[in-house]
Structure 1
Amino acid sequence: MARILVVSLPFAGHVGPTAAVAAELVRRGHDVTGYTGAKYRGRFESVGARWLQWRAAKDYDDARLADTFPRVGDGKGIRANLANFTDILLGTAPGQLADIAAAGPFDLIVTDQLAFGGGLAGEKLGVPWATVAVIPLTLPSRDLPPLGLPVRPATGRLTRWRNTALWQPIKLAGRLTVDPRVARMRAAAGLGPAAVPGPDGLYSPHLVLAQGVPGLDYPRGDQPAHVHYVGRLAAPAGPPGDLPSWWPELAAARAAGRPVVHVTQGTLDVDPDDLLRPTLEALAGSPALVVCTTGGPPADVLGTLPANARAAAFLPHDHLLPLVDVVVSNAGWGGTLAAVAAGVPMVVAGATLDKPEVARRVAWSGTGVDLRTGTPGAARLRSAVTQVLGDPRMRERAAELGAKLAAAGGVTRAADLLEGLRR
């Protein structure tokens, strides 16, 4: 039995995969501690792990980020993205290191890729450590353009040269801005320069557990040997819990040949004017049954619903998605993996953080339509949903990649690799 620390930023999309890995490690008899914010304490304790509180690291509620980090504001735009990186990701890392060092010793640290303090602790304490990629891999590759550019992966020598040229100004900007901050953070922890510059140097050099599979994520001909795609990291589906009274309408709609469209904005960007209300407007009066989740706010925040729409704050995806024909979302990676795992094609509208990158992967993989905006109008949404419903190739492709996600092993494969790192 090993004493294992699982580190997660207190965001729902980060806690889901890390808590699932923790549950599998507990099932195998390891002594597991989950280190995350107070809001998600129960997610780790409910699977039999201990909980380590954020003390030196500034804790926060992911639904109210601006209360703790005012510069994040409404989470939209370049300034908000920069504040998210500097104030939350970099800003809380030294406190994470202090909390982990005070709670040790541990035999193994498993850290969310964006919880930078977990990796620093692994280095500082001389403990084997692994990274869990909760968003698509950001590791640079000769086959890929820089993050944020709407350019597809390289297909030959010319496009690799293109990528090399595109990377040069990005690397220069990183050397002037990100690298000094990371270097100061490492120096304050008593660590020397990173082997790899920038935030990518905070991936584990021992083991990276990447969610997804090639074909959904971009191919990398130079992928390091310690990077492993493990599919979707999620706990096995349990009982659905309390369901709304209208739940039987889902099966009835499918039986009657009516399409079921699920629209969600996840749990972070939950302004209903971005996607929920435009989708309701787009599909009002159509044959579809539209099922909305608000990601936290009460369902009545949407006001009076069209006759063909139903809403709830949350619904169990593992039970909902098999009854759905199309998912409309803002391209969170966890939700995208869940949709593909269920073989459901998508319409995605991503604008913040990693979401445009996820949206581009959805379109590139053939599993859906990327609207290339976070605030699409009703007409574009109606056209995209109609396109997906009318193109069986997208559902077939989602089913194909869903089977590959399952075959990649999920938490079972992840735990095997982690136990191998200990040997």
Structure 2
Amino acid sequence: MSKILFAVTPTVGHVNPMLPLGKHLAENGHEVFFQTSDLFASKVEATGMRFVPLLGNANYDYHKLGELIPELRTAQPADQTLIYLKHLFGDRIPDQYRGLEQTIAEKEIDLVITEVLFLGILPLLIGGSPRPPVISFGVTAPLWTDPAFSIFSGPDTTPEGRIRNIADNNQFLAARASGHRYVDGILDRLGFPLPGGYSLNTQYRLPDTFIQLGAEAFEYPMEDRPANLVFSGPLLPKATAPTKTPEWMNRLDPSLPLVLVTQGTLANFDFDQLVNPTLTGLANEPVQVVVTAGDSKSGKIISTRNAIVESYIPYELVLPRTSVFVTNGGYNGVQQALTYGVPIVSCGASEDKPRVAARVSWSGVGIGIKDGVATPQKIRGAVREILDHPRYAERAGSIGAEIAKVDALQTISRIVNETLARTGATYA
């Protein structure tokens, strides 16, 4: 029996994609430990995995990010990216690494599985001491750079385009340089200086294998593709029991297009960023609007005659009936919409969200609002454009068909077993 440790940032968008994989590996004979915050303990244990709490300041409740990092409450979306890098991800490195070391030693771990923003894995990868192999997963939009594309606007392989690509990518990295230096300082103090310094490319190239949980057709072609990179397709949560149809779904008019709106699980301090402009813009349109408010107070959301607001929306029930998905650009939500062939309006300015919007536009599955600023006019215009022109739904359906052809769990299981076989770990 092989012993596998999952080490995962304790937010929904990072934990949820990992749960079905851990459950699958546990059901197939591995002893699986899942290290994240206490908030997810019952969810982890319900899958048959063994929960291990993160230590110290790594064990936080993401519902209280505004208390944990007060700057987030007043920061503009574009400024939140650096705050997250420094204080949500960087500041957790020492305690994340301490927990990793302890668990690897105590449980005699054969393989570590982590995700792209669990930066506590970096000292393990840098250190040079004997360690288990590490497989990392991309649960967010890729932030890697490559000469074949501009991270802002996508691929352009013309001579002029390549020059612009390199300039754009350097600008992108320079804007995050203070965050990179901050992470370097933490690694230096821990005794793990990174040759050449940390950058956003680091977390993709250092793991033994990096698996991006998304459709390859949604991603830009690369010129300098890392040898360790694999695309598996999205790994979406599976319902453990039939989901009961909510009462409000029975009130939907099947003759009207349904617009599903979400502002994600982290960037929902201020619903004026996306939800309220969308509701205002669509208030007099011949559509039905369904809003998922997450864990925030829905009282901050305006009321319109054609909208239903719920704290939780069963995507597997609503997306098959959805005509347009309006999102702040959460990567997993976009992948889930594409699985059902739903075209997308993407508008977000923090974290990886501008990169998602750029891919939405480039791939033809919808409209990405470039500046990440939602206004009623922009959202109404984008929704109308998608409803009036079937090419967006056709392209989203095409990528959905590609996703249906791949079995992410099967692909990942094969890589896990091959990795364990190479390192001599046993499989029961």
TM over 0.5: yes
The residue type equivalent to 2:49 in the other structure is A
The residue type equivalent to 2:109 in the other structure is F
Change in Cα spacing, 1:70 to 1:302, as seen in structure 2 (3 Å) is closer
Match status 1:158 vs 2:160? yes
The residue type equivalent to 2:412 in the other structure is A
- Counterparts in 2 of 1:159-174, with a 5 A limit? 159-168=161-170
Looking at structure 2, the residues matched to 240 and 301 of structure 1 have their Cα atoms a distance apart, in angstroms, of 31
Match status 1:348 vs 2:343? no
Of stretches 117-126 and 187-196 in structure 1, the one that deviates more from structure 2 is 187-196
The TM-score, its normalising length taken from structure 1, stands at 0.90
2:144–2:200 Cα contact (<8 Å) kept: no
Match status 1:130 vs 2:129? no
In structure 1, the partner of 2:47 is 47
Match of 2:321 among 320, 323, 327: 323
* Cα shift at 1:371: 2.1
In structure 1, the partner of 2:418 is 420
Looking at structure 2, the residues matched to 400 and 331 of structure 1 have their Cα atoms a distance apart, in angstroms, of 20
- Counterparts in 2 of 1:266-281, with a 5 A limit? 266-270=264-268, 271-281=270-280
Unaligned runs of 5+ in 1: none
Change in Cα spacing, 1:179 to 1:299, as seen in structure 2 (3 Å) is closer
**RMSD of Structure 2 on Structure 1 (CA):** 2.3
In structure 1, the partner of 2:400 is 402
Looking at structure 1, the residues matched to 223 and 141 of structure 2 have their Cα atoms a distance apart, in angstroms, of 16
* Cα shift at 1:169: 5.7
Match of 2:370 among 364, 369, 372: 372
2:89–2:118 Cα contact (<8 Å) kept: yes
2:155–2:220 Cα contact (<8 Å) kept: yes
* Cα shift at 1:332: 0.7
Change in Cα spacing, 1:307 to 1:197, as seen in structure 2 (3 Å) is closer
Match of 1:210 among 209, 212, 218: 212
* Cα shift at 1:288: 1.2
The residue type equivalent to 2:273 in the other structure is D
Render the CA deviation track for 1:44-66: whole Å, top value 9, x for unaligned: 21211111112234332223212
Looking at structure 1, the residues matched to 18 and 111 of structure 2 have their Cα atoms a distance apart, in angstroms, of 14
The TM-score, its normalising length taken from structure 2, stands at 0.89
* Cα shift at 1:171: 6.0
- Counterparts in 2 of 1:57-68, with a 5 A limit? 57-68=57-68
Percentage identity across paired residues of the two chains: 28
1:260–1:323 Cα contact (<8 Å) kept: yes
Unaligned runs of 5+ in 2: 422-428
The residue type equivalent to 2:97 in the other structure is L
In structure 2, the partner of 1:201 is 202
1:35–1:54 Cα contact (<8 Å) kept: yes
1:243–1:315 Cα contact (<8 Å) kept: no
Q: Secondary structure at the match of 2:58?
A: coil
* Cα shift at 1:381: 1.6
The residue type equivalent to 1:225 in the other structure is A
In structure 2, the partner of 1:390 is 388
Change in Cα spacing, 1:343 to 1:277, as seen in structure 2 (3 Å) is same
In structure 2, the partner of 1:142 is 147
The residue type equivalent to 1:353 in the other structure is E
Looking at structure 1, the residues matched to 344 and 83 of structure 2 have their Cα atoms a distance apart, in angstroms, of 30
Of stretches 11-20 and 61-70 in structure 1, the one that deviates more from structure 2 is 61-70
In structure 2, the partner of 1:21 is 21
Counting matched residue pairs gives: 414
Looking at structure 2, the residues matched to 111 and 363 of structure 1 have their Cα atoms a distance apart, in angstroms, of 30
